[in-house]
Amino acid sequence: MNEKALLKKIQNQVQAKLTPMLNRYHTDSSDMEAMLKWKPLVLILGNYSSGKSTLINELLGREVQRTGQAPTDDSFTLITAPEPGAGEADVPGADLVNDERMPFTGFKTFGEQFIAHFQMKTVDAGEFKNLALIDSPGMLDSVSEKDRGYDYSSVVKEFARLADLIILMFDPHKAGTIQETYETIRNTLPEAAGEDRIVFVMSRIDECDNLADLVRSYGTLCWNLSQMTGRKDIPRIYLTYAPDMAMAQDELMVWASERQHLKELILKAPGLRISHVLQNVDKQTQELHMVAEAMWSFTQGGKKIFWRTVRNALLAGGFCFLFLDLVSRGLYGFPAHPFLTSLLSTGVVRPEQLIMPLAGFGIVAALILLWGLKFSLPGYYKRCRTKPEELVALDTAYRRNVWERVRDNVTELLAKVKTGDLFVNHAASINKVEKFSQRYIQKYYEEIR
């Protein structure tokens, strides 16, 4: 399978078939577009001195990132191979967020403080020609946005959206007890990435005094993870150690395969890119489908009120057209020859006899239409904006999750509707989205199986 060719094919189909509808419904497609721009990404998170830089240096086969027991780096650092023909270089964050070829233009919203703590290092390493690592600042305890100068959690969330694999590292001495670690696992990552893209690692096990110390640290980490994830079942935790371990080699050999497996998993991240892209496209498709479904339901209800108002206006106006002058003659003796009487008796109607019937028809019909447009429809609009969830069926947990992501978007669309929008053909949009999902997404999933 040619991964680059398949990604290009997906990108072309998304731009041709999906992007126009995403724009029509004001659905944010920036994540999907950013993901299709650049290399596969591996995001490495963890508290300071958790072994992030050591792991990166081992993958590169040389020391690129500083290591140490104390915090050694306060920046988000991209590490990848240089472009063909280019040498190794350090690229500042200002260049990265202004390069339209890269997926980081949206990061400008995090401000100058973040940009000053964002950089890229290009390193001559063959495995990284189609792969980039993101080394992150170590998570700290009780750190607020003001202390860092930028919204750390939001930055991590955006990187997590882009990442094809997320490595979350712990060390035995602070096994999941850091405040930012709790915030990341509990709130940030679940909103940005699926659990299948997150790998948990307890590193530096060589620093444990003995096996009992390691077991205690592992148990503490499992307990803390269960509290942070809210789950009773614990995900797999890789146990790794530094190449220059302090313990004797034979005591660590049992975990040597895990360390090697973790390295292989990271280097195979490019193979996860297509699956990640398809998951994102499928997610956007389902969100778009629900938005279109909500708007279709809204227009159906609005059109019922509109046509009912028109029908009532025509019926009431028609009644006035036929009988208003008869009622007027009975009450006031005017006109002498009502329109309907002349029509039935002689079959001849003079033009002046139509003045009162037409006036009655026009006035009554206009008043009823005005009532509908000024009161009935606005009242319906208000009800829909107040409870937009009633526009769609939320009969499964999956649909409820999708709705939570699109609710604000639907509310914004409802806030802008006008009477003419009731006649927009949302059913055609729903059919197009379903066709795209069935024809293209399923086809691409079959190609990567």
2: pLDDT confidence band, cut at 50, 70 and 90? Answer: low
Tens of pLDDT, residue by residue over 190-220, are: 777 777 788 888 887 777 777 777 788 878 7
- pLDDT score of 431 more than 90: yes
Q: Quick one: 254 and 344 in the same domain?
A: no
Question: How far lies 442's CA from each of 147, 276, 320, 427, 434, in Å?
Answer: 46, 14, 60, 22, 11
- pLDDT score of 19 more than 80: yes
Q: Quick one: 183 and 298 in the same domain?
A: no
- Stretch among 134-143, 246-255, 436-445 having the lowest mean pLDDT: 246-255
Q: 91 near 119, Cβ under 8 Å? A: yes
In this prediction, residue 179 carries a pLDDT of 64
Q: Quick one: 260 and 334 in the same domain?
A: no
| 3-class state of residue 85 by DSSP | coil
Indicate whether 57 belongs to any domain.
Answer: yes
Interacting residues of 30 by C-beta distance below 8 A, sequence separation 6+ = 106
Strands 165-170 and 118-122: unpaired
367: pLDDT confidence band, cut at 50, 70 and 90? Answer: very high
Cα separation, 177 vs 229, in Å, equals 13
In this prediction, residue 390 carries a pLDDT of 93
408: pLDDT confidence band, cut at 50, 70 and 90? Answer: very high
> For the range 365-369, what are the long-range contacts, defined as Cβ-Cβ under 8 Å and sequence gap of 24 or more?
365/313, 365/314, 365/316, 365/317, 366/313, 368/309, 368/312, 368/313, 368/316, 368/317, 369/309, 369/310, 369/313
180: pLDDT confidence band, cut at 50, 70 and 90? Answer: low
Q: Quick one: 190 and 61 in the same domain?
A: yes
Considering only residues 5 and 145, tell me which one the structure prediction assigns the higher pLDDT: 5
In this prediction, residue 430 carries a pLDDT of 92
Give the mean pLDDT of the chain: 82
- pLDDT score of 295 more than 90: yes
Indicate whether 323 belongs to any domain.
Answer: yes
Q: 109 near 154, Cβ under 8 Å? A: no
Indicate whether 17 belongs to any domain.
Answer: no
Indicate whether 34 belongs to any domain.
Answer: no
141: pLDDT confidence band, cut at 50, 70 and 90? Answer: low
Which of 268, 298, 325 terminates a domain? The answer is: 268
- pLDDT score of 146 more than 60: no
Q: Quick one: 262 and 406 in the same domain?
A: no
Percent of the chain topping pLDDT 90: 22
Q: Quick one: 116 and 80 in the same domain?
A: yes
In this prediction, residue 116 carries a pLDDT of 92
In this prediction, residue 73 carries a pLDDT of 62
Considering only residues 390 and 334, tell me which one the structure prediction assigns the higher pLDDT: 390
Percent of the chain topping pLDDT 70: 88
Which of 268, 297, 326 terminates a domain? The answer is: 268
145: pLDDT confidence band, cut at 50, 70 and 90? Answer: very low
- pLDDT score of 235 more than 70: yes
Indicate whether 299 belongs to any domain.
Answer: yes
- pLDDT score of 133 more than 70: yes
Q: Quick one: 88 and 196 in the same domain?
A: yes
Domain extent, residue 120, equals 41-268
In this prediction, residue 335 carries a pLDDT of 79
Considering only residues 136 and 183, tell me which one the structure prediction assigns the higher pLDDT: 136
Cα separation, 299 vs 216, in Å, equals 60
Indicate whether 422 belongs to any domain.
Answer: yes
- pLDDT score of 59 more than 60: yes
Q: Quick one: 312 and 418 in the same domain?
A: yes
Q: Quick one: 259 and 311 in the same domain?
A: no
Strand runs labelled E in 240-298: none
Considering only residues 357 and 71, tell me which one the structure prediction assigns the higher pLDDT: 357
In this prediction, residue 70 carries a pLDDT of 46
Indicate whether 216 belongs to any domain.
Answer: yes
- pLDDT score of 48 more than 70: yes
Cα separation, 385 vs 407, in Å, equals 10
Q: What is the CATH number of the domain that holds 241?
A: 3.40.50.300
Strands 165-170 and 198-202: parallel
Mean pLDDT value across residues 6-18: 82
Q: 169 near 50, Cβ under 8 Å? A: yes
Considering only residues 411 and 277, tell me which one the structure prediction assigns the higher pLDDT: 411
- pLDDT score of 69 more than 60: no
Q: Quick one: 256 and 322 in the same domain?
A: no
Closest CA to 101 of 14, 162, 36, 159: 36
Q: Quick one: 382 and 301 in the same domain?
A: yes
In this prediction, residue 407 carries a pLDDT of 93
Question: How far lies 239's CA from each of 185, 225, 234, 255, in Å?
Answer: 19, 15, 14, 7
Which of 220, 239, 268 terminates a domain? The answer is: 268
Domain total of the chain:
2
Q: Quick one: 256 and 295 in the same domain?
A: no
Indicate whether 276 belongs to any domain.
Answer: no
